Each structure stands twice: as structure tokens, then as C-alpha cells.
Structure 1
Amino acid sequence: MNILSGISASKGLAIEKAHFIVQSKKKQVEKTRISQSEKEAEWKKFQKALELTLKDFSLLLQTNNPDEKKLIETYLLMLNDQEFINQIKLNFDNSSYNVDFIVDSVVNESASLLRHTNDEYLSQRADDILDVFGKVIDRILGNKIENIQDIDANSIVVSQNISGSFAISLFQKGIKGLLLSDGGLSSHTAILARSYGIPFIFGIHKLSEHISHGDTIILDANEGSVCISPDPKTIEKYQKLKKEAEERDVFLSQYISKKGKTKDKVEINLFANIGSVEEADLALKNGAEGIGLFRTEFLFMDAERPSDLLDETKQYQVYSEVLKIMGEKSVVIRTLDAGGDKVLSVTENSISKNGKKTKYIKPEIEENPLLGNRAIRFCLGQKDIFKTQLRALLRASIDGNLSIMLPLITHKEQVLETKALIDEIKKELSEKNIAFKKDIPIGIMVEPPAAAILAEDFAEIVDFFSIGTNDLTQYTLCVDRENTGVSALYQEMHPAVLALIEMTSKAAKKHNIPISVCGEMAAREDEIEALLKRGIRSLSMRANKISEVKAFLETISLKSL
């Protein structure tokens, strides 16, 4: 019996035999010179491969799973992205090499830019690009398309990695669990696994050295552990735990439609943190009262292409869809939290479109990125980008209950300058008879200690506060939570952090503006008690934690805190 530890991306427990998928050996892309006379035939090979790949994904649209359907629609949008196709065509026309080499080069360059952002969500979008256009390349090369027929539904699939598109087939098949070496919490595979309720663990390397095809394994995604070839006593133990977990899931399901309340009947608002349209659906399924934080960074995942960064229509469509999904429920959308360690810098690019020089984003290396050109600083320094996002938000506002939140605010002038931009955009939209809501609440994330210390001043010019406890802790204690050498000092319950939270809460109460917490503290029992004690009555968290928090709230009384 051997026990391994990994990262849980979708909770649950499975006890089944392993179905090991070995990555099939495919024909590799080679760099081959072609003559001018071969160009037309080469490009037709790409067009045919693209057409067949579009057809493959279109056939999958018949699913009844909304998260799955949105993922497939996302893939189809990627394949139909004319700007990206034009970039491939431009590179192909200006080269003397085979079309699969050009496609592979453009796709990998796009993926590389996303991976260098040091942002998990955007890095996972790199996998999507490689997945979707990898299938186009497979078609060009004649590589065998993955087959689902040989996989036993009553098994735990084990592999180095799988594509999001193959995950769709696996989950439709009804597998009992998924174990991968590679993966991510924000990957489409993870989102779909959570939607289907399939246990999923990743982050265990060299799985083939530990697990063989047909081994009995226990996948405990509640704890992030994998037990290989367990003895009968261990199997019996986990079968009991599985039954208890299933009973707890049934118990928690009753809270989906309930309002969050403490034992002494004090109502606590529970919202969801999301980063995509798929996650908005998940939030609704899990009984969220609204969206407390919608991270918009992912919309800029293709920003290495000239037009995408400034594409107002694409942004508008996503914001509008999320607002429509949530109906009358509140949706707080955070403006682009880019720059520094998160995403980008903007540089002039020589690629022209219609004869005009355009802007696109490249990773910028800063000596101290967390204190650098990021979030509101980045946006106010790149007003064309910022105005495009604000315009898209204002246009979408008529489709739901929108609030706009500004990240990393340290100076009142940053808020006032943003408000002036919004007024300017409102005037422009009115002149063009474009509809928008005139009274959209504008709030700030309280992340730097400066914002907490000056909370009373900020409360005079904003409509709400949202405390981002992850960054507030990091900035207050001068601790990089990703640095294992000092991570033990990262303590959200540190007296200094709690004092700043209380200071902000009191300012919000004094000025009668809403306040919420959207960091990891919002979903942990001890921290929840500390937050409630300091006047916090709204919490925002991962959607799958909402029912657990509702159940916990019923066990505590504010009077006893």
C-alpha cells in the first residue's frame, strides 16, 4: 500500500480500478521548406483541418450540461476567431515553410505569452489554445484522434494530462474519478469536474512509477490523497467515509435554496468568486446570493493579438451573459487587475491593421511586481484599455444588477480619476443613444493597508468596500504567500490584519455603505467567526463552499462571539 499527496481540484471520494492513459505518440511538427507553387494546397490543408475540427466540437453541443456547453462554445469561438486565423495566414504568407509548422509556431507563441503572466487562470487558458489548435494540427498531420470507447466508466482515469475537450468525453462517459500529473484549479477540466461532481486530484508527478493499469486506488479528493493497492481494512474504512460523504452531500443540498443565517437568526449574505461565465452557472447552482468578485483578467488571455485587447464587443458579451445568468442578483465585477506579477505591460507593436499601429501586451519583468505597475495603476496609465473595459461594463449594465470594483486603491485621486472617466464615457454613450444604467455603484477592494487606514476618507467617495484579505495580509505582514521560505509568517488571523479589517468595517458602518470580504478567510470557520465579530455580514467565496458555510453559520450565535 502506497499513499501519495496531490492538489484537490474537485472534492469527492472514489474507490475503483485505475485506467491508465498513456499519451499516444503522435507525428511531430517538422519545419519543411515549401515552394510558392505549393502554398495554395498547404493553406487548403489548414482550412480543411479547421473545418473538420469545428465539426467535431459542434457535434458535442448537444450536451445538457450548461458548463460543458459553454466550454464547447468557447472552443468554437477560438476556432472561429478570424483575427487569430488572419495572424496565422499573415505568418504563413510571409514564410517559406509548411502550414502545420506555422500554425504550431503561432499557437505556441500565444500560449507562451500566457504562461509567462505568472497568473494561474491565464496559464490554464494557454492549455485551451494548445488543446483546440492542437486538434487542428493533428488533422493536418493525420494523427489518431483520442478514442473514448476503450475506457471503463467504472474506473478512475490516470494520466499525465488530458485536454479539456477529452475531459468532456470522459465526464459524459461517467468515469468515477480523475488523477493527473498536470492540471490547475482554474482549468476547464477542473471546472467541469466540479460541475459533474467527479473527484479530481492533480499535481502528483511520475504517476506511471507508482500506479499500473488495473490497480485498485482510493482517490480522496476531500483530503488530496491517493492510496494505491489498499488492504481490505483500508478499503472498508474509506467505503464508510464515502457513505458518510454522500450523506453529507445530501444534507448540504438542503442549504442551496436557504438564506445564510446564524443560530440567533442574523442574516449573512453569501456570494461567489468567479472568473468565467461557466463559474457563474456554478455559483447559481450552489445557491450564491450573487457574485462578490468577478475577476476579468481572463478576458485578456489572447491579448498578444492586436485587436483582442481593445475588443469592446467581446468583453460586453461576457459581462452581459454573466449578468443575465444572475438575474436580479448582485454582480460585482472587478476592473482589470493586470500588471506586475499578474499579467502585463503594454508596448507598441509593429503589426498593423488597416495601416494603423496597434497595442498589445507582453509580460513585463519588474524587480518588485507586487508593488509595481499593476491593477488601477496599470489601467489609469493605459486609458484606452481602461475606457474600453468601462464602456463594455456600462453597456452591459442594463442586463442585470452590476457594481464596478476598483483594485489596489491607495489614493483618493485614483477613484476620482476613474469616476471622471466613467462620466466621460456616459456622455459619449448618451450622445450615441446607447443604453446604460446611470446609477451603477462604484466600490473599491481594500487590499493595501493604506486603503484600510484611510477607510473613512474613501467611504465618502465610494459606494461599497470589499476586503481582499489575501493581499491585505500579504501587504500588512510583508510576506509573499507563494514563498515557502516565509509562508509560515502569512497569518490572516494576525492581530494587525484583524485590526485593519475592523477599522474598515467601522468606517463602512459609520458611512452606511455595504462591506464584504472576498478572500480565503471568508470560507474558513475560525476566520468566519473573527470576521463576524468585527461587523462583517457579507462573505464571498468559491461556489462549492457556500452550502458548507451556511451549515456552519447555523451552529454559531453572534451573541456568544
Structure 2
Amino acid sequence: MVYANKWNDKTIVNTKTPKNKQQQFILTDDEIITLANWAKLIEDHYQKPMDIEWAKDGITNTLFITQARPETVHQMRDKNIHIEYKLLEKGTILSQGNAVGSKIKVGKACFLKSPKNAGSLAPNTIIVTDTITPDWDPLLKQVTGIVTNKGGRTSHAAIVARELGVPAIVGCRNATTTITNGETITISCSQGKTGYIYQGELAFKEEKIDFSNIKMPATEVKMILADPENAFSLSFYPNNGVGLLRMEFIITHNVKVHPMALVNFDQVKNTSVKKEIEKITKNYANKHDYFVETLSQGIATIAATFYPKEVIVRLSDFKTNEYANLIGGKYFEPKEENPMLGFRGASRYYNNLYKAGFALECEAIKKVREHMGLTNLKVMIPFCRTLEEGKKVVATMAENGLKQNENGLEIYTMVEIPSNVILAEKFAEIFDGFSIGSNDLTQLTLGIDRDSELMGKLFDENNEAAKKMIKMAIQSARKTQTKIGLCGQAPSDFPEFAAFLVNEGIDSISFNPDALLQGIENINKAENSLKIENEANDFIFYK
């Protein structure tokens, strides 16, 4: 939208945005940092959250603050009350876009080109339109939801939706063609930054959680996370940080391309695959920069959200068949009969088949810690089979700029192989901390493929042998004064398992978000029981 190309003509005309402008960043890094500093100064001055608007002069390229007013959407909310929306079934996705809010709503799609065509709207109406301008505002107070083809997170539709508390999905591009006027649809803004429009009425639940009534236990309670889009909302849950950040999700959903296909692009033989990679990486001078930038942003989103609490990122732990599914991956992955026990985890990082790819992982983490200043990020090595392998990985990380203890860098390892337990005291000489992966440890202790439908009933973390391995690991960690935690579902599913861990003196337990509150309850019960037992023993000893 620009002035007409005539001298002294103030007429506004719409022109198609040229490709080079579409692919150009709107602001430089320095300009973004300047705006961030100004925003911080303004909020410090007023001592409250502020809604700030800015502009950039198109001729002088000068930045201006045009307005600052108290933020009204979030400040009146009780920070201890969290309302969680969750879909209970899957459905056909009609369209998707930028989610505004976190609600789920069901209603009838009503196509409108202008608010003048509205007439009377039913209470369950979801407006579906191309774009929304200020003259729509009175109408938006009457609707259940808003869907637009155009607009981003800062569009007028998004701003008004936030102020009214109405869920909106904006920037869908094709909503008016994939949705039928008058049909029942479900709009979900509960799944992170991306909002989804589903066909028909899907079942969902709405749960109000009062965090003020939750007492945190002495044992640290951490979260298991993978999706950066959900990090901000989940950070308000009671927690002591992130015990496991799964890097694989970010690589699969955000990066999408196999790192070795970026390092050795010429070895990708398929023309269509090469074109796909070229398209994804078109705005980057070097293809490996795309991997580093995308991965670092995903990790940093979670590290920043939970700062200054510790966030432990596990380095990539794909199996070869999973790596092969990435774009260009099949050209760089060996075929294995049993990928679960094959070329995975630590073994990949110093091997020439993946060493260059691992260097990109290290570069991304270094960028998060050093360039972005998120030193609360710690690193964890998965599936480290031997002591020699542990030393090799630590040395390889140092070669790539991640030196243990430099700038406070701590390197953990997963305890998920019997060798990790048997030689735990020696592994403690190499690593700064342990995290028990109860799924793999149980699998390898009992000799059961946990993915097997036939053997599934025998897989049990409460099995005496599996629990003995965990107990040995905790005892070795306590003896060497090494921090140790556990990541897994069992402490939330089984109160007796939580009690077992608490009694053994584990430092922390990490839960998936949907199991966190039940896990806290189980740990509190276990700690209370242990306290009563200790008091009784003290009384008997005193008598």
C-alpha cells in the first residue's frame, strides 16, 4: 500500500509486492535490538506492561515510537488461574493460520465480505472473511470466533480479538475456499502459534487450574518439552525448569532438512529433492546457516521462556530410519536391521558419517549460549555406551566451541544403558550430571522392544530388575555428588514409583506437561509419607 507514483499526489494505491521485497527482512538485527531496548526503557519508566507502537520512516529509515499506553489484555488476569483447552479427538483440517489466544470454539461459519452484510448474527457464529478493518469492531463483539485469509499476529483482527478475548485464526490464505459457508467448524488456538480449523464439531475439554493451591515438593519438578510454540504458556505451570528439551521435534518440524544434505548438498542426487532444499534455504547465503539459525531459534525460544531456570537440551537422538525421513536424509543414512540399537546417540557425533552434522548442532547451541546470552542452557548426551565414547564426545564438542565448564557449560549424559549404571561412578568423572531415561533403561534391562505390540505387556518400569538398576544409578550419583534426575511417565502414572524415587533421594523428576500436576501430587504424597516415617523412627530412637 503506497502513494500513487505522481508528484504531489496523495492517493493511496495497492500494488503487488515484488518477490525481492517479499524475501527481504523488514528490519535489521540492530533495529530490532534498538526497538527492544526502547520498549524496556518505556516499561521501566511506567513500571507496568505497555502496549507500544512504532514506525519506520520510508525515506530517512529512522525509527519512531508513535504510541505507548498501558497493556490491557493480560494485566487484569489472575496469574495463578490457568484455563487449559484440549481437543479430545482428531478431525479433518480445513485450513490453518496464526493462532490468537488459546481457546477452542465450535460454531457455524458465516462468510462476510463487509460488516454491512452481517444482519443479525447467531451467538455461535464464526466469521470467515478475507480481512478485517476497524469498521468491523462492533460486529466482532457478537461472535464466537474469527477466521481471516489475510493478516498476521499484529493485524487489526488479531489485536481486536485479543482485547475481546475472542479466539481468532488469521492469515489462513485459503479459508474462504476450503470452508463452506454455513457449515459447523471447530477452531483450535490451543496447540501453540498455529491455529487449526477442523471440519464439524470436535469434542474438547476446558479445565480451570488454580496454581496458587499447588505446593511444590522438595524434589525438583521439571518439564519435558519439544515444541517451542507451546513453551510460553507452559512456563506458567509450577516447575523448576526443563529437564529434557527434545531437539528432534525442532529438527523434524522446523528445520525439516537432514544436516548432512546441507553440508554436502552436491551428494543429493534427486533433482526434486534438491529443488525443495533450495526453496527452503533460499534466503541464506550458506545452507548450513539455515540449519544453525532455525535450530538455535527453536532452542532459544524455550531457554528464554524459562530463563533463568535451567534448560537441559538433549543432542539429536534420531535412529537411522528416522534421520532418513528428513529431506535428503536417505542419501546419508545406512540401513540397519535394528536401528534402536544401532547408529544413534553419542556414536554418531564423532563418526565421519555425521561429524559435520554434529558440528552444526554444536554451533546452534553455542549461538544460543554465547550470542543470545542464554547460559541457563545445558547439554545432554544420549545413548553413550562406553567411557571412551563419553570422552570422545566431550572432546568433539570442545573442537566445535562447546568446552565443558567454559562460561558455565555443564554436560550431562542420559543413564539409559546398563553400562551407564554399572560404571556410573566412572561416568561421573566425565559428565556433570545424569538423567535416567527410564524407557530405554527398562527396555535394555528386560530385553524388551518397547515398540513391540507382542511384548508390550511385559514392559514395566515397576519391574524389580528395572527399579534395581535405577536405585544403583541414584546411589552412585549420591556417592560421587553428581546431580541426577529421571525423565519418564511412570512417576505420574504410579504413585508407588514416585515414592520409590523420593525414598532413594533423586534430585529431580521431569514430566510431560499433561502429567506434571499429577506428578507433583504424587511426589508431595511420597515426601509427606517419608517425613512421617522419619519422625516415627526418630521418636523410637529417642525413647
Structure 2 counterpart of 1:339, which letter?
K
Specify the code of the residue in structure 2 equivalent to 1:313. E
Q: Deviations over 1:202-223 (max 9, x none)?
A: xxxxxx9xxxx79xx9x587xx
Q: How big is each residue's C-alpha offset from its partner over 1:49-107, in whole Å with a ceiling of 9 and x where there is no partner?
A: xxx9xx946435554799xxxxx99x99xxxxxxxxxxxxxxxxxxxxxxxxxxxxxxx
Which residue in the other structure is 1:291 paired with? 242
Q: Which residue of 2 aligns with 1:386?
A: 358
Distance 1:400 1:522 in 2: 29
Give the structure with higher Rg (CA): 2
**C-alpha separation in 2, matches of 1:455 and 1:409:** 12
Aligned to 2:504: 534
- Taking the TM superposition and a 5 Å limit, the aligned residue runs for 1:351-430 are 364-381=334-351, 382-397=354-369, 398-426=373-401
TM-score (structure 1 length as normaliser) = 0.54
Q: Is the 8 A contact 2:324 2:330 kept in 1?
A: no
* Residue type at the aligned position of 1:403: K
CA distance, structure 2, for counterparts of residue 371 and residue 362 of structure 1: 18
DSSP-derived class of the 1:473 partner: helix
Q: Is the 8 A contact 1:271 1:540 kept in 2?
A: yes
- The structure 2 residue matched to 1:483, chosen from 452, 462, 470, is 452
Taking structure 1 as reference, are residues 190 and 513 closer, same or farther at Cα in structure 2, changes over 3 Å only?
Answer: same
Q: Structure 2 CA distance, aligned partners of 1:21 and 1:494? A: 41
- Matched to 2:343, the amino acid is N
Structure 1 residue 283: deviation in Å? 2.9
1:118 alignment counterpart: none
The letter for the 2-side match of 1:147 is I
Aligned counterpart for 2:472 among listed residues 476, 498, 503: 503
SS in 2 for 1:426: coil
Q: Deviations for 1:379-435, whole angstroms, at most 9, x for unmatched residues? A: 2221111111112212211224011000001111222112212222239x9xxxxxx
2:310 aligns with one of 315, 319, 330: 330
The 1:550–1:520 alpha-carbon spacing in structure 2 relative to 1, beyond 3 Å, is: closer
Matches within 5 A, 1:337-352: 337-344=317-324
Question: Residue 454 of structure 1 is aligned with which of 423, 427, 441?
Answer: 423
Count of equivalent residues: 353
1:269 is aligned to 2:220:
yes
Q: Which residue of the partner structure matches residue 303 of structure 1?
A: 257
Q: Classify the secondary structure of the residue corresponding to 1:399.
A: coil
Range that drifts further, 463-472 or 479-488: 479-488
Deviation at 1:148, TM superposition (A): 7.8
**Distance 1:321-1:498 versus aligned 2 partners, 3 A rule:** same
**Counterparts of 1:315 and 1:13, CA distance in 2:** 28
Give the match for residue 253 of structure 1.
211
Instruction: State yes or no: 1:552 paired with 2:506.
Output: no
Q: Distance in 2 between matches of 1:477 and 1:366?
A: 22
Question: Which letter does structure 1 place at the counterpart of 2:177?
Answer: I
Query: Aligned equivalents of 1:376 and 1:146: distance in 2?
Result: 46
Q: Looking at secondary structure, tell me which structure has more helix per residue.
A: 1
In structure 2, C-alpha distance between the alignment counterparts of 1:331 and 1:23, rounded to whole Å: 36
Q: Is the 8 A contact 1:255 1:551 kept in 2?
A: no
Give the 3-state SS of the residue equivalent to 1:403 in structure 2.
Answer: strand
Per-residue displacement from partner, 1:274-312 (whole Å, max 9, x unpaired)? Answer: 112123224302222211101111333211584378422
* 1:527 Cα offset (Å): 1.6
Q: State the partner residue of 2:178.
A: 146
Q: CA deviation at 1:504?
A: 0.6
CA RMSD of aligned residues (A): 4.2
The match for 1:117 is none
Q: Which residue of 1 aligns with 2:299?
A: 319
- CA deviation profile, 1:459-482 (whole Å, cap 9, x unmatched): 111100000001111111111222
Amino acid aligned to 1:59: G
Closer, same or farther in 2 for the Cα pair 1:284/1:22, shift >3 Å? closer
- Call closer, same or farther: CA 1:396–1:479 in 2, change over 3 Å: same
Shift of 1:332: 0.1
Give the direction of change, closer, same or farther, for the CA distance of 1:551–1:363 in structure 2 (3 Å limit): same
Q: 1:401 and 1:491, CA in 2 relative to 1: closer, same or farther beyond 3 A? A: same
Within the alignment, does 1:474 sit opposite 2:449 as a pair? no
Secondary structure at 2:312's aligned position in 1? strand
Give the match for residue 79 of structure 1.
none
1:59 aligns with 2:143: no
Give yes or no for contact 2:350–2:396 (8 Å, CA) kept in 1.
no
TM-score by structure 2 length?
0.56
Moved more, 483-492 or 437-446: 437-446
Q: Give the corresponding residue for 1:39.
A: none
Note closer, same or farther for the CA distance 1:300–1:560 as it changes in structure 2 (3 Å cut).
Answer: same
Q: 1:253 touches 1:547 (CA, 8 Å); kept in 2?
A: no
Residue identity matched to 2:366: L
For 2:212, give the aligned amino acid.
Q
Find the aligned partners of 1:22 and 1:424 in 2 and give their Cα distance. Answer: 46
Q: Map 1:33-72; keep pairs closer than 5 Å.
A: 56=149, 58-59=151-152, 62=155, 63=158
* Amino acid in the other structure paired with 1:286: Y
The superposition leaves residues 235-258 of structure 1 with CA deviations (integer Å, 9 ceiling, x where unpaired) of: xxxxxxxxxx95xx44x53356x4
Letter matched to residue 232 of structure 2: D
| 1:343 to partner: Cα distance | 2.8
Return 5+ residue gaps in structure 2 as ranges: 1-83, 96-130, 132-147, 163-167, 263-280, 282-286, 534-543
